Amino acid sequence: MLKRVFFLFLMATVSVSLLACGGKKDEDTLLEKEGTSKPATGTAAAPAAAPAAAPATGGATVTGKVNFDGTAPAMAAIKMDADAFCKSEHKEPVYEQEVVVNPNKTLQWVLVYVKEGVAGSYPAPAEAVVLDQHGCQYRPHIFGIQAGQPLKILNSDGTLHNIHALPKKNQEFNIGQPFKGMETVKKFESTELPVRFKCDVHKWMNSYAGVLTHPFFAVSGADGSFTIDGVPPGTYTVEVWHEKFGTKEMSVTVAEKATAEANFSYAAQ
């Protein structure tokens, strides 16, 4: 009698174990079908990812002018007769912007940027840089942008424009904007200088961008001056780029909350 009771108890235990194993297998199968993984048990938690490097900060400023030596070349007038809209937008002659010598013998449209010496991480701003097509001209003619920062291309004209970007490292694009108010957003993911833009409809339209990993850049204005703010203290190589005259560079040292001056000069060719 005792042997029979023990045998029945043993069989019941085996049945319960088999049912438990079958239940676990069914549960795992259901989780797999739902695309969910069960949390691991009996293992140490994975270490937290290292935080991203904080952007470097600084209160120094680099400022200066881009001077021009020699006789300013004559600027050619742009003929817009082929597009009635373009012609109607200008009562006065419009000139090419390749070489713009200001009245004080300085150059406009020169990109100035820190070429070497920048340390730290500078995430791309969420705010877009705007490249406008207004009066059948690109505005601005020269600009800087960070890699990964949005570039909003806007058509403010009541005529067709075709924006053709011609990078060598980044992805080329060629888009049409036939209507006023159209916008297209693009990004450049790699550093590159220069990136040329042209309009395949209006051959005189050109613009250039410098794509950088940091925000330390500027463009010389109508008095030839530029200012780069927020530079951390240190020694840097600052370079200027002009679409006709090329590049020049110099070493610049800035102290915390101080201003360093960097003046460049191009000569007539």
Tell me the pLDDT tens digit for each residue of 139-193.
Answer: 999 999 999 999 999 999 999 999 999 999 999 999 999 999 999 999 999 999 9
d(CA 62, CA 127): 23
d(CA 263, CA 269): 20
Tell me the pLDDT tens digit for each residue of 227-257.
Answer: 999 999 999 999 999 999 999 999 999 999 9
Q: What is the pLDDT of residue 66?
A: 98
Tell me the pLDDT tens digit for each residue of 9-35.
Answer: 444 443 433 333 344 344 343 333 333
